[in-house]
């Protein structure tokens, strides 16, 4: 019975929270309700990723050590006695009133996103006659992704911040952001499909795929650094402990299934393994920066004056790459300040958004064919 009440209370909170963005969508003019809702979902997912990073960086991931509630209740107010007891027993531990609220707000936002995707699914279903089944299937896919993301959120707590679980949780969040962006940028209007087919698409999908692959690898390495708390394993820049090739332990550093702070055998993970994790992220950052810079410059040249929006996105991509370099260096030089760390995560999410937006102009033709077509 207690579990039923808990889920009912959490459901009511999700509905109340969902009412705020729905009210905003209803009161705004321009575009249709469905289109506005889709872009609000993108905005909320981006915010949720940043707040998730804030939850992790403030060590609030275990602020409520159970799931989905907080000590079996729907909010920290009702669990204040348990929280204070845990805090007094372990003053430097992960449980405080503030951390509990940060963790629960993160969960509330995640539930709100799920509720809004249910609304999206309902609207897509109501428009089957005009839009067909494609947006319905796409919304079902998004809902499934949210449910999987929720499962990893639960495992993040129950498995005590196991690095591969937390890393996968972040990667799934970015996948959800990209998927929602791809959904939102669709016209979903059958009458305009012919026009869309005639639109010039001066960007090779194969070319774009390389950009996604490079960015995905670099984000994974960055998440692996953060979830293993290896940011300060190399406390200097551009060297690591005074050398450009520090001692490494690749097998220990990249053994994925293990507990936080431990190696595969249950012993404390070595400092060398942590600096290996950090150094791998730095090395691939060079590859990612130059690959995506070449990509952005090439796209800017291909787009020229025929696709000013695409050229603007290419410039935005360059700016975001510079932001990532700046905040990445700042994390080391200034000893992992919260602001720089949050901006670094926000930059990663923005890069995903930018690449997905650029996919609107993608075509499977070769770069040479596209250059000839757009000239």
Considering only CA atoms, which of 179, 229, 178 is closest in space to residue 349?
A: 178
- Among the listed residues 186, 9, 49, 36, the one whose alpha carbon sits nearest the alpha carbon of residue 120: 36
Q: Spell out where 147-271 has E strands.
A: 203-204
Q: Is 103 a catalytic residue?
A: yes
Q: Which long-range contacts (CB under 8 A, 24 or more apart) does 9-13 make?
A: 9/74, 10/68, 10/69, 10/74, 10/111, 11/111, 13/74, 13/75, 13/108, 13/111
Q: What letters, b where the CB count within 10 A reaches 16 and e where it falls short, cover 1-10?
A: eeeeebeeeb
Residue 354 tokens read as 């930018």
The residue from 9, 103, 247, 252 that is catalytic is: 103
Q: Compute the distance between CA of residue 145 and CA of residue 45 in angstroms, rounded to an integer.
A: 13
Six token digits for residue 268: 């404390």
Distance CA 333, CA 211 (A): 28
Write out the two tokens for 131: 């839009």
What's the CA gap between 281 and 222, in Å, rounded?
A: 6
Is the Cβ–Cβ distance between 122 and 90 less than 8 Å? no
With the C-alpha atoms ordered 15, 104, 258, 169, is the resulting torsion angle positive or negative?
A: positive
Q: How far is CA 211 from CA 36, 185, 186, 258, 292, in A?
A: 28, 19, 21, 30, 6
Catalytic residue numbers read 103
């Amino acid at each position: 019975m207690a579990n039923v009440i808990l889920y009912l209370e959490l459901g009511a909170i999700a509905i109340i929270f969902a009412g705020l963005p729905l009210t905003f969508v209803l009161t705004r003019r321009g575009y249709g309700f469905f289109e506005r809702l889709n872009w609000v979902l993108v905005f909320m997912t981006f915010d949720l990723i940043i707040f998730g990073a804030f939850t992790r960086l403030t060590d609030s991931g275990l602020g409520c050590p159970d799931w989905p509630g907080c000590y079996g209740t729907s909010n920290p107010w009702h669990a204040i006695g348990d929280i204070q007891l845990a805090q007094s027993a372990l003053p430097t531990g992960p449980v405080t009133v503030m951390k509990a609220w940060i963790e629960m707000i993160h969960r509330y936002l995640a539930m709100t996103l799920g509720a809004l995707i249910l609304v999206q699914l309902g609207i897509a279903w109501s428009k089957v006659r005009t839009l067909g089944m494609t947006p319905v299937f796409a919304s079902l896919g998004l809902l499934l992704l949210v449910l999987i993301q929720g499962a990893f959120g639960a495992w993040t707590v129950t498995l005590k911040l196991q690095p591969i679980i937390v890393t996968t949780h972040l990667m799934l969040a970015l996948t959800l952001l990209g998927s929602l962006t791809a959904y939102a940028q669709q016209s979903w209007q059958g009458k305009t499909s012919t026009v869309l087919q005639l639109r010039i698409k001066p960007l090779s999908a194969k070319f774009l795929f390389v950009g996604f692959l490079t960015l995905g690898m670099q984000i994974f390495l960055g998440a692996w650094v953060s979830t293993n708390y290896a940011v300060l394993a190399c406390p200097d820049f551009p060297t690591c402990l005074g050398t450009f090739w520090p001692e490494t332990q690749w097998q220990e550093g990249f053994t994925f299934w293990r507990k936080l702070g431990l190696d595969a055998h249950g012993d404390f993970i070595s400092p060398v393994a942590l600096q290996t994790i950090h150094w791998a992220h730095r090395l691939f950052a060079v590859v990612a920066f130059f690959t995506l810079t070449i990509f952005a410059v090439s796209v800017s040249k291909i787009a020229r004056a025929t696709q000013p929006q695409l050229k603007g996105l290419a410039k935005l991509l360059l700016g975001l790459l510079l932001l990532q370099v700046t905040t990445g260096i700042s994390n080391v030089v200034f000893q992992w300040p919260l602001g720089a760390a949050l901006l670094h995560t926000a930059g990663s999410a923005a890069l995903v958004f930018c690449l997905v937006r650029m996919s609107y102009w993608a075509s499977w033709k070769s770069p040479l064919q596209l250059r000839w077509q757009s000239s």
